[in-house]
Amino acid sequence: MEVTDAIRNRKSVRAFLDKPVPDELVSEILDCARWAPSGVNSQPWHVAVLTGKTKQQVGSALAKRRSDGVQAEPDYRYYPKQIEEPYIARKRACGHALYSALGIERNDIETRKAQWMKNYHGFGAPVMLLFFIDAILEKGSWVDIGMFIQNVMLTARGHGLETCPQAALAEYPDVVRNLLNIPDSRKLVCGMALGQADYDDPSYQYRTVREPIKEFVQWFS
């Protein structure tokens, strides 16, 4: 697959087939992704690969916290406290596109909740990746790990797999660290579902739009 095709046609997949992904293939994807750039070659990423019973255990624990009404306590703030335009409109359009594809009405709270809860099990993907970074590192290293995560997604596409990067999997980092025996000194950045996409699922039948470059590029000469 051409790199440009992998980038342009990538999307966050929210339905996966119940087909295992060999450990060797996951290792190959991560082995390629590790060539991402990082400041002074710091390579600040740590990855936990979850499959089988462990994936189910972590997903169930996260879902229970949400169901119990426990407020999320992520290691960092993903979204601003007060969102403004144009981000409000983009957020609404994104949500509308997804729920319209699924045929879920705005006032159908229970069905929306059930759809959200699928986050914690990686939308049925056989593999869940969790990305960590050492707490001592600064924002530059967070930029670096973002490039590493993008490499994972694009490499996965090159192997015929799809992904969904998920901030939801980082809502309760203490739960994750306790279950996986990961030290508090490692902060949970996000998770990712990895597997073979269910292309027939309604959630796959929509795409979010991207702004033309004239909206975000300035030329100076």
Q: Could you report the per-residue pLDDT of 28-86, keeping only the tens digit for each? A: 999 999 999 999 999 999 999 999 999 999 999 999 999 999 999 999 999 999 999 99
Say what the alpha-carbon torsion angle 110, 115, 118, 124 is, to the nearest 10 degrees. 130
130 beta partners:
48, 191
For residue 102, list its beta bridge partners: none
Residues 6 or more apart in contact with residue 124 via CB below 8 angstroms: 15, 16, 17, 18, 118, 195, 198
**Which letter, b or e, does each residue of 20-35 get, where b requires 16 or more Cβ atoms within 10 Å of its Cβ?**
ebeeebbeebbebbee
Question: What is the Cα–Cα distance from 54 to 158, expressed in whole angstroms?
Answer: 27
All domains in the chain, ordered by first residue: 3-81+120-207 (3.40.109.10)
Q: Mean pLDDT, to the nearest integer, of 189-213?
A: 95
Q: Where does the pLDDT of residue 106 fall: very low under 50, low under 70, confident under 90, or very high at 90 and above?
A: confident
